[in-house]
Amino acid sequence: MAPYYLQKFHFQTDGYLSDRSAERYDHQVEVLFGGGAAAMRRQALVPLKRALAENRTGARGGARLLDLACGTGRFLREVKANYPRLHVTGLDLSPNYLSVARRELAAWSRTRFVEGMAEAMPFADMEFDVVTCIYLFHELPPQIRRAAVADIRRVLRPGGTLIFVDSLQTGDEPDYDATLELFPVAFHEPYYESYLREDLDRLWSPGFTRSERIPAYFSKVLSYRRDRDTS
């Protein structure tokens, strides 16, 4: 288990590595954001629709999507409700959260769940057409973010789409800047402060070109195209 993961997050004394944490997480996050967490997460469906339309096999279910740090599978439920034939894989470091995700998506076929780290994924090169990464990077140390970017680049096919959803950063919405500074203290986010200063476009280059940015209340949705030639 990665050392950076073995600590408190969100004041949960067992972090994300218990059944209790997995059962209460979604409710906790909805309370934190006044019922807006699921709505912010769903904004990732907008660039996903475009990505699948551009993929010749996407509409027929032939495309393959990886949801990185899938947690309890809440976003994958939205994906499968809209694209039931799509092949989806959920990766997460917590076996407890994956257990909930398997239960929540048991009604759908073409789903699989894999325990593993974002910076060392157990997948083949260029295995996926779309990678979604939702509320992960603000919970990673800076050096692990860079390792995760490198491995996403490896598993995403050239021309594929990365859909990234995470918190706003300093300067995105100046009226929220004071709240962003308070957030890591008030809600125990040990790596959030460094995320606020991270230049995301620089982080994803070379290898990715940004396609669009969608504001989503306290979050933002960024989509990137995996470059076909980064040599």
Domain boundaries, the chain: 3-225
24 or 202, which is more confident: 202
Tell me the mean pLDDT in the region 15-41.
Answer: 83
3-225 has which fold?
Rossmann fold (3.40.50)
Helix (H, G, I), strand (E, B) or coil at 155: helix
User: With bands split at pLDDT 50, 70 and 90, how would you rate the model's confidence at 155?
Assistant: very high
HSE-CB of 2 using CA atoms within 13 angstroms: 19
Taking phi first (over 0 means left), then psi (-120 to 50 degrees means alpha), and beta for anything else, what does residue 188 get?
Answer: left
Q: Which comes out higher in pLDDT, residue 162 or 60?
A: 162
CB-based contacts of 56, cutoff 8 Å, min separation 6: none
Phi and psi, residue 41, nearest 5°? -60, -40
Going by C-alpha positions, the residue among 83, 90, 179, 180 that lies closest to residue 133 is 90
- pLDDT category at 57 given cuts 50, 70, 90 is low
Return the closest-CA partner of residue 205 out of 217, 188, 222, 220: 222
Place of tokens 């974002």: 118
For residues 199-217, average pLDDT = 95
pLDDT (mean) for 61-66 = 90
In the structure, what pLDDT confidence band is assigned to residue 13 with cuts at 50, 70 and 90? low
Global pTM reads: 0.93
Report the C-alpha gap between 95 and 206 in whole angstroms: 33
In this structure, is the dihedral angle defined by the CA atoms of residues 195, 196, 197 and 202, taken in order, positive or negative? positive
Mean pLDDT of the chain: 91
Q: Is the pLDDT of residue 20 over 90?
A: no
The string of pLDDT tens digits covering residues 163-195 is: 999 999 999 999 999 999 998 888 888 899 999
Poorest-confidence range of 2-16, 134-148, 200-214?
A: 2-16
- β-bridge partners, 120: 117
Contacting residues for 123 by C-beta, under 8 A, at least 6 apart: 66, 89, 114, 155
pLDDT digits (tens, 9 = 90+) for 102-145: 999 999 999 999 999 999 999 999 999 999 999 999 999 999 99
Residue 151 has pLDDT above 80, yes or no: yes
pLDDT band with cut points at 50, 70 and 90 for residue 1: low
pLDDT number for residue 82: 95
Residue 68 in 3-state DSSP?
Answer: strand
**Amino acid present at 11:** F
